Amino acid sequence: MESATTTIRRRAPRHRAIEASDYDALIKNDIDLYPTENPLTPSVLATWFRRHPEFGMMYDTFGCCIFVPLIPSTWNKFIRKEIDEANLVDGIFDATTSSTGELCLHMYHIEKSDKWTREFERMATVVLHDVCMLIRQLNRHRSPSLSPIRVVGCSALTASDAGYRMARDVFHMSLLFEPDEFLFRHCTLGHVAIFSACDGGLPSPNEWTKIGEARLMAVTCTDVCAKVFETTDKMKLNSTRM
């Protein structure tokens, strides 16, 4: 008797809105990956998500994807490197008051656990579907006198090659500047440190191993954003392989 190979199809993980109890672990994980001198604080995260916590998408035990919803003027300052992530608090998008509906998203953090067995790009595709559905839900409850919400810009500060490929291939982002900060892991102590090109040289390869570089990426063309963040019924991922 011939044996048939059965493919088990599982529902993609469900997400929930970020809560204050998630902040400390999220900040710790981000510092472990990218130990900046100006790390975020719980108060910054609280400001980011005071109006729309649903953009902090937590896939319990599977991972998370944290988008910061921004107004275009603040987002444009960020992608020009005029402000850093901590200063995004001054331009948070509010779906109830924005007359234009123009929304910019900054992907602050994305990670997956071993339980989410599909590749990183596949997780990002699920995340993209979910954020499109969030925008669609916001539009359903939006006043008819206001223009529909639409994404007009999206950015990410990637620190790994996997993150770079995900931002490029799934979200169609492009590199804005040549990297000037590089991540190294100490060969014996194991901690991660950031070295800047302007500091005058990189550390000794006998002590440090390069693991990534900080690359600011974005998609700025509104037509491209419209295609990436499509919120139609064509995007159906309720049943998918994990």
CATH of the domain at 142: 3.40.630.30
Query: How far is 158 from 77, CA to CA, in rounded Å?
Result: 18
Q: How many CB atoms lie within 10 A of CB 85?
A: 19
Task: Give me the pLDDT at residue 118, please.
Answer: 67
Mean pLDDT of 90-103: 95
- State which residues form the domain around 194: 180-213
pLDDT at residue 1 is higher than 70? no
Look up tokens 């929304």; give the residue.
Answer: 103
The verdict on residue 6 lying in a domain is: no
Q: What is the pLDDT of residues 71-87, one digit of tens each?
A: 999 999 999 999 999 88
Kindly report each contact of residues 236-239 with a partner whose C-beta sits within 8 Å and lies 24 or more positions away, as own/partner: 237/12, 237/125, 237/126, 237/129, 238/11, 238/12, 239/9, 239/10, 239/11, 239/12
The verdict on residue 4 lying in a domain is: no
- Asked if residue 190 and residue 82 are part of one domain, the reply reads no
- Asked if residue 86 and residue 66 are part of one domain, the reply reads yes
- 205-221: b (≥16 Cβ within 10 Å) or e: eeebeeebbbbbbbbbe
Model-level pTM? Answer: 0.87
- Asked if residue 188 and residue 106 are part of one domain, the reply reads no
Q: Pairing relation of β-strands 215-219 and 174-175?
A: antiparallel
Question: Domains in the chain: how many in total?
Answer: 2
Q: Pairing relation of β-strands 56-59 and 63-70?
A: antiparallel
pLDDT at residue 161 is higher than 80? yes
Q: What is the pLDDT of residues 2-12, one digit of tens each?
A: 444 444 445 66
